[in-house]
Amino acid sequence: MTTTSAYAAHQATTPLVPFSVDRRDPGPTDVLIDILYCGVCHSDLHIARNEWRHTQYPCVPGHEIVGKVMRVGDRVTGHQVGDVVGVGCMVDSCGACPDCHAGLEQYCQDGLILTYNSPDKHSGKVTYGGYSSQVVVDQHFVLKIPGNLNLEAVAPLLCAGITTYSPLRHWKVGKGQTVGIVGLGGLGHMGVKFSHAMGAHTVVFTTSPGKAADATLLGADEVVVSTNAKEMRAHSNRFDFILNTVAAAHDLDAYVSLLKRDGTLCLVGVPEHPHPSPQVGNLIFRRRQIAGSLIGGIQETQEMLDFCGTHRIVSDVEIIPMQQINEAYERLLKGDVKYRFVIDMASLKNR
């Protein structure tokens, strides 16, 4: 067992503070990773502050991990010491249910173990995440990072990247399609990059006219101000697929009306309060659908990383030291980041 430096929340109303985590010695199929960078996800804030009502304290957040392999178990085959690797939102699953057999571990209902705030079958406590100097993970949940990408900007791909890539791939977004991305934040900016790289005509919906220039730089072909009813009506019955990344409750009917027959509005943001109920007729008369999507499975996450390597896609990030995490949370609440915070974990040595 190794004691590593970390930052943890101890209550919903108090700041994250220095903490020590005991990491298990690597077992036969485990990989010990020295964490170089960890992204800051909005989920980290929700869970640290118990906004989803299931946080177990102390809580060490972080599920966008990039690091270097330091040790491997004697049955590890896909990774070796010195490799640069990633760990996303999951560190284990049952491996036996239909979802796991289908490579959809994120939907495992018989033993999904999240990277933090989840039952830890090794310690009997809870899992501690990437706001720490090291982590030990089963080899199946360790991902290879393409060598041509900037590591600090890779970290958010492990959550924000796969959260947007997975639905775009599942609904077969590509050339000849018109795709909408609702919101231009940590998730939305990745959705724009992926949709553009997949060859779709990409339209960004935003409440902020000032984001139009950024949206275009990220790959958007058009920008629509969603608070302008006339602009919205002008796009009725146009879209094959709309990816809605907004995590605040809002009226979905305005976007459903923009879908073609058989079009899909996919939700990936989780609001604190439920959305207003959609008009059923808006769905029935054009055979439209409202769907949801989580992250992707391990195989699809690796596919996403390889896609990013081919197309040189990374997140737009602001690098912070670990000591600024509480300030970063406050800025995150205000939308004051373009577009993801990433912690330089070397700063833990100077805590």
In this predicted model, what pLDDT tens digit does every residue of 283-318 receive, in sequence order?
999 999 999 999 999 999 999 999 999 999 999 999
pLDDT digits (tens, 9 = 90+) for 6-27: 999 999 999 999 999 999 999 9
Determine whether 175 is exposed, middle or buried from the number of CB atoms within 10 Å of its CB (0-12, 13-18, 19+): exposed
For the domain that residue 8 is a member of, what is the CATH number? 3.90.180.10
| Mean pLDDT value across residues 188-194 | 98
Percentage of the residues of the chain whose pLDDT score is greater than 90 = 95
> Got the DSSP string for 48-67?
HTTTTS---SSB-----EEE
**Which of 244, 259, 292 is the last residue before a domain boundary?**
292
Bridge-based pairing of strands 134-138 and 65-72 is unpaired
Domain hosting residue 56, numbered range: 2-159+315-350
Are 17 and 37 contained in the same domain? yes
pLDDT digits (tens, 9 = 90+) for 86-114: 999 999 999 999 999 999 999 999 999 99
Are 221 and 270 contained in the same domain? yes
314 neighbors 102 (Cβ within 8 angstroms) = no
Q: How many CA atoms lie within 13 A of 251 on its CB side?
A: 8
Q: What is the pTM of this model?
A: 0.96
Length of the chain: 351
Domain count, the chain: 2
The verdict on residue 298 lying in a domain is no
The verdict on residue 254 lying in a domain is yes
Query: Does residue 351 carry a pLDDT above 60?
Result: no
Are 155 and 182 contained in the same domain? no
Are 152 and 240 contained in the same domain? no
For the domain that residue 209 is a member of, what is the CATH number? 3.40.50.720
pLDDT digits (tens, 9 = 90+) for 147-171: 999 999 999 999 999 999 999 999 9
The verdict on residue 95 lying in a domain is yes
55 neighbors 47 (Cβ within 8 angstroms) = yes
290 neighbors 252 (Cβ within 8 angstroms) = yes
Token pair listed for 288: 């439209």
Are 125 and 178 contained in the same domain? no
Band (pLDDT 50/70/90 cuts) for residue 350 is low
Instruction: Give, as one character, the DSSP assignment of residue 25.
Output: P
> Got the DSSP string for 170-233?
HTT--TT-EEEEE--STTHHHHHHHHHHTT-EEEEEES-GGGHHHHHHHT-SEEEETT-HHHHH
Return d(Cα 24, Cα 1) in angstroms, integer: 5
The verdict on residue 297 lying in a domain is no
342 neighbors 314 (Cβ within 8 angstroms) = no
Are 54 and 69 contained in the same domain? yes
Q: How many distinct helices (H) and strands (E) make up the chain? A: 11, 17
Are 151 and 281 contained in the same domain? no
299 neighbors 277 (Cβ within 8 angstroms) = no
159 neighbors 39 (Cβ within 8 angstroms) = yes
pLDDT digits (tens, 9 = 90+) for 224-234: 999 999 999 99
Alpha carbon 18 to its chain's center: 25
Are 284 and 194 contained in the same domain? yes
The verdict on residue 305 lying in a domain is no
Mean pLDDT, the chain, as a whole number? Answer: 96
The whole-number pLDDT of residue 272 equals 78
pLDDT digits (tens, 9 = 90+) for 36-67: 999 999 999 999 999 989 999 999 999 999 99
Query: Does residue 80 carry a pLDDT above 90?
Result: yes
Are 42 and 140 contained in the same domain? yes
The verdict on residue 304 lying in a domain is no
Percentage of the residues of the chain whose pLDDT score is greater than 70 = 99
The whole-number pLDDT of residue 1 equals 85
Are 204 and 336 contained in the same domain? no
The verdict on residue 303 lying in a domain is no
Are 108 and 192 contained in the same domain? no
Are 127 and 204 contained in the same domain? no
Query: Does residue 215 carry a pLDDT above 70?
Result: yes
Return d(Cα 140, Cα 92) in angstroms, integer: 8
Return d(Cα 35, Cα 21) in angstroms, integer: 13
The whole-number pLDDT of residue 82 equals 97
Instruction: Give, as one character, the DSSP assignment of residue 9.
Output: B
Q: Which CA distances in Å does 259 have to 243, 293, 329?
A: 11, 18, 35
Band (pLDDT 50/70/90 cuts) for residue 268 is very high
The verdict on residue 300 lying in a domain is no
The whole-number pLDDT of residue 342 equals 98
Query: Does residue 218 carry a pLDDT above 90?
Result: yes
